[in-house]
Structure 1
Amino acid sequence: MFDPRFERSVNVMCVHDEHGALGIGIGAVREGVRFHEVLEELGIDPGVAPDCAVLNGGPVEPGRGFILHSTDWGGADTIQVQPLCALSASMDILRAIAEGRGPKDWLMALGYAGWGAGQLEGEMRHHGWYAAEGHPEILFDTPVDARWMATWRAEGIDPALLSTETGRA
């Protein structure tokens, strides 16, 4: 990927249809932002929620929050990202996490990566992205800075052997 914002990027593709695509970045921390800080800005008592790092979900709408979470919790606006996880962006899930009644596994990201109709397909034809299988253990149990390598390894690929140049057949 030639855009430095996506260098060593790991994204969960949440929506991909004829209208475009939406992905949430899970491979980089949003510097200086913690979960409790976000809750407090929204007027939510952090309660029992852990004070974890917030991820850099992408360059689009960087002030908008998203929760990627296990499928054991769902609200009216929850999108199932089968079979990997679910995506919610409501105040309800933030309150549920703070009160200890949220999903078992979750992470928060600010912003998202978005593509218009056909844009992602074009970038993939030019070798801008690799579509890997999603693994819940990488999403929820692997440290943020290790997700890029863990994703390649789960695919059986050593990224040291990848070329920065491509050809056409």
Structure 2
Amino acid sequence: MTQTTATYLTHHFLIAMPHMADPRFVHSLIYLCEHSEEGAMGIVINQLSGLNLSDIIEQAAPDVDVPPSVGLRPVYNGGPVQTERGFVLHSGHTRWEASLDLGALHLTTSRDILVDMAHGAGPDESLVALGYAGWEAGQLDQELGDNCWLSVPAEHHILFQVPSEQRLAAAAQSLGIDLNLLTSQAGHA
């Protein structure tokens, strides 16, 4: 009898397959911050919320003046869990109050990073999102087995340099796949 070892996909992109049944994730690209036997957590990185950074800073730190060059940066719908909470996925060091070192990147949830961003002292590369995507133990593994998602190692330039509307196609292309050529019918071989 062979024993299988679980493969975890932390620091990977999840690409929603065309037959994705959950309308919250249709055409989504998710950066997986954590994936373990206990579950998974990620940030949707290609769905704009319609808000910008000024809107968020105005709520979190109303006394801070936000220059237009910072304030017009988009905010993303990070996922359906805790949609009122802000998450900043960023490169660089963790010098803010509530930062989690993800290894390749950092995830910060404290107000102080927003204030620093408004003052031009924030991280060089960042993505601000409201909410996150979360899976209970085994849930993402089941969805992967059901062919709901493709996974590919995350690429820094796709996350921070590719325009949001092109990120999903760019991640798929890194696998050599054109999503427009995939069927929306699911199946198993």
TM-score, structure 2 as length reference: 0.81
Against the structure 1 CA distance between its residues 73 and 97, is the aligned structure 2 distance closer, same or farther, given a 3 Å change threshold?
farther
- Letter in structure 1 aligned against 2:57: L
TM-score, structure 1 as length reference: 0.90
For 1:101-142, what per-residue CA distance to the aligned partner results, in whole angstroms no more than 9, with x for missing partners? 111111100011111111000010000111112111111111
**What's the CA shift for 1:88?**
0.9
C-alpha distance in structure 2 between counterparts of 1:168 and 1:155, whole Å: 20
Tell me the residue number matched to 2:43: 24
C-alpha distance in structure 2 between counterparts of 1:35 and 1:4, whole Å: 26
Tell me the residue number matched to 2:102: 81
Tell me the residue number matched to 1:34: 52
Tell me the residue number matched to 1:57: 78
The alignment status of 1:11 with 2:23, answered yes or no, reads no
Tell me the residue number matched to 1:123: 143
C-alpha distance in structure 2 between counterparts of 1:47 and 1:158, whole Å: 40
Tell me the residue number matched to 1:155: 175
Q: Is the 8 Å Cα contact of residues 13 and 21 (structure 1) preserved in structure 2?
A: yes
**What's the CA shift for 1:151?**
0.8
Unaligned runs of 5+ in 2: 1-19
C-alpha distance in structure 2 between counterparts of 1:136 and 1:98, whole Å: 23
- Letter in structure 2 aligned against 1:23: G
Report 1:64-143 matches (<5 A): 64-83=85-104, 85-143=105-163
Unaligned runs of 5+ in 1: none
- Letter in structure 2 aligned against 1:67: V
**For structure 1, which segment, 93-102 or 119-128, has the greater mean C-alpha deviation from structure 2 after superposition?**
93-102
C-alpha distance in structure 2 between counterparts of 1:46 and 1:150, whole Å: 35
For 1:47-102, what per-residue CA distance to the aligned partner results, in whole angstroms no more than 9, with x for missing partners? 4461211101011111110001112444353223333x221111121122112211
The count of residues paired between Structure 1 and Structure 2 equals: 167
- Letter in structure 2 aligned against 1:59: P
Q: Is the 8 Å Cα contact of residues 82 and 132 (structure 2) preserved in structure 1?
A: yes
Q: Is the 8 Å Cα contact of residues 76 and 129 (structure 2) preserved in structure 1?
A: yes
Tell me the residue number matched to 2:15: none
C-alpha distance in structure 2 between counterparts of 1:20 and 1:67, whole Å: 21
**For structure 1, which segment, 110-119 or 49-58, has the greater mean C-alpha deviation from structure 2 after superposition?**
49-58
- After superposition, the CA RMSD in angstroms is 1.7
- Letter in structure 2 aligned against 1:104: D
